[in-house]
C-alpha cells in the first residue's frame, strides 16, 4: 500500500470512529471535541497509530481553514436579535477581557515556568481568548438553550475575540524577536486594521453573497456550494487586504443568516455538516501534532497556568468587563466558567514554532495542556452548572422532518412535521382549532 493510500485509510477510519463515538460522548457527557483530540493523539507517534506528524505549516493551514468554516456557520446561526442583546458585553469581553486574561495568565506562566514576564505574556496571549469551535461545539452538543443574553454574549464573544488574540500574540512575539525596549504604536495600528477591514469587508461581503443567493437560481445542489465558496473567498480577500478573515466570515455569515433568501435552509443544512467535519479534522490534526511524551516535563507547570486562567484570570476579567451591565452573580459565574479554550490557542501556539522562537516547543505544549484541561473540566461541567444556576431554558420544539419549499414568493419556506407527545395540550385536537401563530 502506498503511503498516501495508508494516510487516506487512516484519516477515513479516524473520522468514522470519531463520528460514531459522538453518540457515546453525549450519553456520558464527555465533550465531543475532547473525543476528536484524543483519537488524534492515539493515532500519533506516541500512540498505537504510530503516525509521526510534525508538519506545523500544514497543521496551521488546516486549523485556520477549519476555524473559518466554523465561524461562518456560527455567524449564520446567530440571530440578529440575540446579537443586539449580547453585542455590548461581548465586545468588552472580546477586547478588554482578552487583554486582562492574557496579562494575569502571563504572571502565572512566568512564575510556573521560570520565564521572564514577556515570555509569560506570550503564553497568556496564546491562551487568553475563548474558542468559537469549543463554545459552539459544547453548547450545541449538549443541546443547551441558555437565557438569551447569556447565550448570545458567550457565542458573540467567541466569534469576535480572535482578532484581539491574534493581535496580542503577534505583538508580543514581534517584541520578543526584535528585542524592543518598549512597545510602539505599530501593534495598535495592526489591531485597528484587523478589526476595521474585517468588519467592513465582512458586512459588505455578506450582503453581496446574500444578494447573489437571492438573485441567482443555482438549484438545490449548487446553492450551498456557492455559499461555502463565497465564505472562503471572503476570508481570503479580507486577509489579503490586511483584515481579520475570522471576523469577516463571522459577520458575513451573520448577514446571510438573518436575511430571507431562496435556498437559505439548504445552505444551513450543508454548513451544519461542514462545521462538524471541520471540527473533527481540526482536532484530529492537532491531536496528531502533539507528542505526549514531550508534555510530561512541563505538565505540572502547565496545569498551574491552566488553573490560574480558569480560577483567577478569566473570572476577574469577566467581573471587570461586565461591571457596566446588569448580569446576576450566577450569570457572571457561568460566563466566566464557559471561557472554553479549544483550537484557537493551539493554532496560535504554532506562531512561535513557525518563528523558531526559543522555548517555542514548551509554549506549544503548555497551550495544549491548557486546552486539554479546559475541555476536560469546564466542558464536562457546562450543562450541570447551567441547570444548577437556573440558566437553562426548556428545549425548543424542532421539526422531525422538513422539506424545502422552492415555490415562487416563499424564499426559505419549509414544510415541517412535528411529533406530538401524548401528554401535550394539543394532543387529540383538531388542526383548525390549534391557534397556530401567523406566518413570519
CATH at residue 218: 1.20.1530.20
10-48 pLDDT, tens digit each: 677 777 776 676 665 555 555 667 777 777 887 777 777
Q: What is the pLDDT of residue 440?
A: 47
Q: What is the pLDDT of residue 380?
A: 79
Q: Cα–chain-centroid distance for residue 369?
A: 18
304-344 pLDDT, tens digit each: 999 999 999 999 999 999 998 888 999 999 999 988 887 78
178-187 pLDDT, tens digit each: 765 555 666 6
Q: Is the pLDDT of residue 246 over 90?
A: no
Q: What is the pLDDT of residue 217?
A: 75
Q: What is the pLDDT of residue 374?
A: 87
Q: Residue 309 and residue 330: Cα distance in Å, rounded?
A: 19
Lowest mean pLDDT among 161-170, 275-284, 393-402, 413-422: 393-402
Highest mean pLDDT among 84-88, 204-208, 350-354, 381-385: 204-208
- Rounded to two decimals, the pTM is 0.78
Question: Residue 408 falls within a domain, yes or no?
Answer: no
Q: How many CB atoms lie within 10 A of CB 87?
A: 16
Q: Residue 153 and residue 371: Cα distance in Å, rounded?
A: 21
User: Taking a C-beta distance cutoff of 8 angstroms, is the pair 240, 192 a contact?
Assistant: no
- In angstroms and rounded to an integer, the radius of gyration of the C-alpha atoms of the chain is 22
Q: Report how many domains make up the chain.
A: 1
Question: Residue 398 falls within a domain, yes or no?
Answer: no
Q: What is the pLDDT of residue 326?
A: 85
Q: What is the pLDDT of residue 315?
A: 94
Q: Residue 4 and residue 88: Cα distance in Å, rounded?
A: 49
Question: Residue 156 falls within a domain, yes or no?
Answer: yes
Compute the C-alpha angle 164/167/170, nearest 5°.
Answer: 145
Q: Residue 288 and residue 307: Cα distance in Å, rounded?
A: 25
Confidence of residue 124 (pLDDT cuts 50, 70, 90): very high
CA distances in angstroms from 304 to 59, 105, 197, 299, 307, listed in the order given: 27, 10, 37, 9, 5
Q: Residue 134 and residue 342: Cα distance in Å, rounded?
A: 5
Highest mean pLDDT among 58-62, 139-143, 207-211: 207-211
Question: Residue 299 falls within a domain, yes or no?
Answer: yes
Q: What is the pLDDT of residue 273?
A: 81
In terms of residue numbers, what domain contains 100? 3-388
Q: Which residues pair with 403 in a beta bridge?
A: 415
Compute the C-alpha angle 123/54/277, nearest 5°.
Answer: 85
User: Taking a C-beta distance cutoff of 8 angstroms, is the pair 281, 62 a contact?
Assistant: yes
Q: Residue 435 and residue 437: Cα distance in Å, rounded?
A: 6
Q: Residue 154 and residue 90: Cα distance in Å, rounded?
A: 7
Residues whose CB falls within 8 Å of the CB of residue 363, separated by 6 or more in sequence, listed in order: 119, 122, 123, 126, 349, 352, 357
| 278-298 mean pLDDT | 83
Question: Residue 405 falls within a domain, yes or no?
Answer: no
Q: Residue 187 and residue 184: Cα distance in Å, rounded?
A: 7
Question: Residue 418 falls within a domain, yes or no?
Answer: no
Q: Residue 144 and residue 272: Cα distance in Å, rounded?
A: 17
Question: Residue 425 falls within a domain, yes or no?
Answer: no
Q: Is 235 exposed, middle or buried (0-12, 13-18, 19+ CB in 10 A)?
A: buried
Question: Residue 423 falls within a domain, yes or no?
Answer: no
Q: Is the pLDDT of residue 64 over 80?
A: yes
| 65-76 mean pLDDT | 85
Amino acid at each position: 500500500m502506498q503511503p498516501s493510500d495508508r494516510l487516506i485509510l487512516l484519516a477515513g477510519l479516524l473520522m468514522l470512529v470519531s463520528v460514531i463515538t459522538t453518540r457515546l460522548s453525549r450519553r456520558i457527557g464527555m465533550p465531543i471535541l475532547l473525543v476528536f483530540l484524543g483519537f488524534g493523539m492515539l493515532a500519533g507517534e506516541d500512540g498505537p497509530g504510530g503516525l509521526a506528524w510534525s508538519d506545523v505549516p500544514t497543521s496551521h493551514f488546516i486549523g485556520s481553514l477549519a476555524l473559518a468554516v466554523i465561524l461562518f456557520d456560527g455567524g449564520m446561526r446567530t440571530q440578529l436579535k440575540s446579537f443586539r442583546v449580547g453585542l455590548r458585553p461581548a465586545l468588552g469581553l472580546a477586547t478588554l477581557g482578552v487583554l486582562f486574561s492574557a496579562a494575569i495568565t502571563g504572571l502565572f506562566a512566568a512564575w510556573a515556568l521560570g520565564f521572564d514576564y514577556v515570555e509569560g505574556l506570550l503564553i497568556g496571549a496564546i491562551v487568553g481568548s475563548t474558542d468559537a469551535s469549543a463554545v459552539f461545539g459544547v453548547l450545541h452538543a449538549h443541546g443547551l438553550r441558555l437565557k438569551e443574553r447569556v447565550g448570545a454574549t458567550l457565542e458573540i464573544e467567541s466569534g469576535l475575540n480572535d482578532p484581539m488574540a491574534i493581535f496580542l500574540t503577534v505583538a508580543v512575539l514581534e517584541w520578543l524577536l526584535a528585542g524592543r525596549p518598549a512597545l510602539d504604536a505599530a501593534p495598535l495600528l495592526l489591531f485597528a486594521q484587523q478589526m476595521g477591514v474585517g468588519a467592513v469587508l465582512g458586512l459588505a461581503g455578506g450582503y453581496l453573497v446574500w444578494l447573489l443567493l437571492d438573485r441567482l437560481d443555482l438549484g438545490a445542489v449548487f446553492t450551498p456550494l456557492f455559499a461555502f465558496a463565497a465564505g472562503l473567498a471572503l476570508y481570503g480577500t479580507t486577509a489579503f487586504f490586511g483584515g481579520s478573515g475570522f471576523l469577516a466570515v463571522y459577520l458575513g455569515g451573520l448577514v446571510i443568516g438573518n436575511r430571507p433568501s431562496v435556498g437559505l435552509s439548504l445552505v444551513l443544512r450543508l454548513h451544519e455538516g461542514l462545521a462538524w467535519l471541520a471540527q473533527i479534522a481540526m482536532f484530529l490534526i492537532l491531536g496528531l501534532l502533539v507528542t505526549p511524551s514531550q508534555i510530561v516535563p512541563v505538565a505540572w507547570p502547565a496545569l498551574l497556568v491552566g488553573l490560574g486562567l480558569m480560577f483567577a484570570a478569566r473570572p476577574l476579567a469577566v467581573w471587570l468587563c461586565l461591571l457596566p451591565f446588569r448580569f446576576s452573580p450566577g450569570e457572571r459565574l457561568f460566563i466566566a466558567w464557559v471561557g472554553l479554550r479549544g483550537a484557537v490557542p493551539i493554532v496560535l501556539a504554532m506562531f512561535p514554532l513557525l518563528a523558531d522562537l526559543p522555548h517555542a516547543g514548551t509554549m506549544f505544549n503548555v497551550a495544549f495542556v491548557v486546552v486539554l484541561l479546559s475541555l476536560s473540566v469546564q466542558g464536562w461541567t457546562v450543562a450541570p452548572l447551567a441547570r444548577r444556576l437556573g440558566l437553562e431554558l426548556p428545549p425548543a420544539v424542532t421539526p422531525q422532518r422538513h422539506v424545502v419549499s422552492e415555490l415562487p414568493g416563499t424564499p426559505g419556506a419549509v414544510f415541517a412535521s412535528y411529533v406530538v407527545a401524548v401528554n401535550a395540550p394539543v394532543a387529540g385536537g383538531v388542526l383548525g382549532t390549534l391557534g397556530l401563530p401567523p406566518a413570519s
